[in-house]
A and B are shown apart, each in its own frame.
Chain A
Amino acid sequence: MKILVCISSVPDTTAKISFSDNNTSFNKEGVALIIGPYDDYALARAVELKEESGGTLTVLNVGTSETEPQIRKALAIGADDAIRVDAEPTDSFFVAEQIAHIAKEGNYDLIMMGRETTDYNSGVVHGIVGQILGIPSLSPVMELTIEGNTAKISREIEGGKEKLEASLPLVLGCQEPIAEWKIANMRGIMSARKKPLNVVPPVGEALTSVTNYSMPPEKGACKMIPAEEAEALIELLRKEAKVI
């Protein structure tokens, strides 16, 4: 089985968000980048599938050279090789176009992604890729087992879940508890340095672009209610906040 795992490189959730150049660019200074947390689940399950049934595991990122530490980390966790499409991943369609292009050339059985990136939370790249390739896309996937050419999947739906069976090839957007996040061990980190990382130029063009960033207004102070008078809260929610 040939597996392609697509990882995004996103600011750590605890990172302080600020903008520069008159609010036209995201200030990356001092911001720690991580593999998208959902993508990390996809990667973890892909590593397990490879261990169970053999095959190859390639990781793909659309990004500039600053994402190389995240790619190396994915290699250390267990991917065999990596591809980086050398471009800023600002537009969902553009990112999907790159992934579809690579996927077509590589003939993968499974294309695994996270359900969404944690910076823009779009949750659309897998669907666009599936459509371009003419194969089904399913998300958010919580369980995945492969039997021969069939994938057995459980997918979250609002208020519950759905069990599905589908034949490969497939595009999947993954989330927990599909697998536990994996940590690279020393041997993995050493071998990752020697694994191939191919950098390729992008195809096509972005359909959207960010023109400006802005911040929401500051939150007002929290009104404290003594525990002994907790009932008073309900009155405030009704008369002051008007939410019940």
Chain B
Amino acid sequence: MSVLVYAEIAEGTLKNTSLEAIYYGSKVAEQTSQSLLVLAIGKAENTALEIAGNYGASKVLHANSSNLEVANIVAYSDVLTQAAEKFDSKIIITAKSSLADAVTARTAGALQAGVVGNVTELPDLSNGFTVTRSIFTGKAFAQTSINSDVKILGLKKNAISPEVSDVKATIESFNAEISEGAMNAKVVDTIKATGVVPLPEADLVVSGGRGLKGPEHWQPLLDLADALGASTACSKPVSDLDWRPHHEHVGQTGVKIAPNLYIACGISGAIQHLAGVNSSKVIVVINTDPEAPFFKAADYGIVGDAFEVLPKLTAAVKALN
């Protein structure tokens, strides 16, 4: 028996959230006296996968055939399911993301597994197998018992702080049979911003709302993000108005993020917006209106004009470096 972590590869390296999942997996393996296996799917060098060892994995299974280079939900799930079967894994762990959700969902279907996402703590084994998950976009938790033979957990970002060693994992290649249906959905084109940390992974995020008044006014915000090495986000009206690209839209109907720092400029803090960002560790709000609801959810607030405040912050960050 083994605990199996599905780790995502993005641009040749293991995602940070996946490293958290590996560390979490190593703790679950300890709890249940099992070995830990990590499965990585897609193109990556061995040196990029060995780092899994720093987070507690001794072995990484690497599935890397030409038909796995582009993330394909059906094919990736075939690989995960077959790895779980081959290594008799009853606990499958992944870092929650839209790809991981889609892949583990199909594996849950194949293995009749109970699947629980947004897990925030190690399982409680005192009475069966119970996990705590965040529900209602961070407004509450539900302790949930999983009663099936195979159990699948989707870990929420920042739920666990890994202790890192300098152990390297060994890499073993893993081949799976891909079902015919997998290639039914053909990718014809991919448009991707490169060089920026995708929002769900980002530790630092600077975000703008309708208060910035137009796409031509984004530069001060981009400057601060640049100085901090932060990713940029926006409110829904901003992406609806095409001021910013859709994948930057955070909130109930957008991306859910959990950075260490979220700086909101000219965003009122509607409950639907908060639903996407209230898992942030520290929230800073910059708004001209002292009554803006966002201040109630913030750790630090500045009542002021974003166009005056942002350059000051950028200068202060630059002064640090």
Contact = CB atoms under 8 A, between A and B. Distances in A.
Interface of A: 11, 13-14, 17, 19, 37-38, 91-93, 96, 115-116, 118-132, 134-140, 142, 153, 156-167, 170, 173, 175-177, 206-216, 219-220, 222-227, 230-231, 233-238, 241, 243-244
A124 B101 contact: yes
Interface in B65-120: 71, 73-74, 77, 97-99, 101-110, 112-118
A159 B300 contact: no
Nearest to B201: A158
Nearest to B228: A244
A136 B74 contact: yes
Nearest to A130: B106
Interface size class of B (residues with CB under 8 A): 35 or more
Interface stretch (B18-26, B52-60, B144-152, B162-170): B144-152
Contacts of A170: 185
Contact of B102 (A38, A137, A216): A137
Interface of B: 10, 71, 73-74, 77, 97-99, 101-110, 112-118, 130, 132-133, 135-148, 181-182, 184-194, 196, 198-201, 204, 228, 240, 246-247, 252-253, 256, 260-261, 271-272, 275, 281-282, 284-285, 295-305, 308-309, 312-313, 315-317, 320
A99 to B, nearest CB: 11
B117 A122 contact: yes
Q: List the 6 closest pairs (A to B, CB-CB), nearest first.
A: A127-B105, A131-B109, A227-B304, A207-B114, A160-B192, A158-B198
A158 B108 CA distance: 23
B144 A208 contact: yes
Contact of A135 (B139, B181, B304): B181
A118 to B, nearest CB: 6
Contacts of B282: 237, 241, 243
Contact of A223 (B132, B182, B301): B301
Contact of A166 (B108, B115, B184, B192): B184
B101 to A, nearest CB: 4
A136 B252 contact: no
21 contacts: A14-B271, A119-B136, A124-B115, A124-B117, A127-B77, A131-B77, A136-B184, A138-B73, A139-B102, A158-B97, A158-B98, A158-B201, A159-B196, A206-B147, A208-B115, A208-B148, A212-B143, A214-B143, A222-B301, A234-B317, A241-B282
Given A11-B136, A244-B204, 18 more contacts: A13-B275, A118-B275, A123-B101, A127-B104, A128-B115, A131-B77, A158-B199, A159-B193, A159-B194, A164-B187, A177-B240, A206-B147, A209-B145, A215-B139, A227-B308, A234-B316, A241-B299, A243-B260
B169 to A, nearest CB: 24
B34 to A, nearest CB: 21
Given A118-B275, A231-B313, A207 B143 contact: no
Contact of A160 (B193, B253, B275): B193
A167 to B, nearest CB: 6
Contact of A13 (B252, B303, B309): B252
B259 to A, nearest CB: 9
Given A166-B186, A216-B140, A130 B109 contact: yes
B300 A233 contact: yes
Contacts of A119: 135-136
B114 A91 contact: yes
Contacts of A116: 101
A153 B272 CA distance: 27
A118 B114 contact: no
Nearest to A128: B109
A139 B73 CA distance: 9
A163 B200 CA distance: 21
A145 B204 CA distance: 37
A227 B118 CA distance: 37
Contacts of A139: 98, 101-102
Contacts of A207: 112-114, 146-148
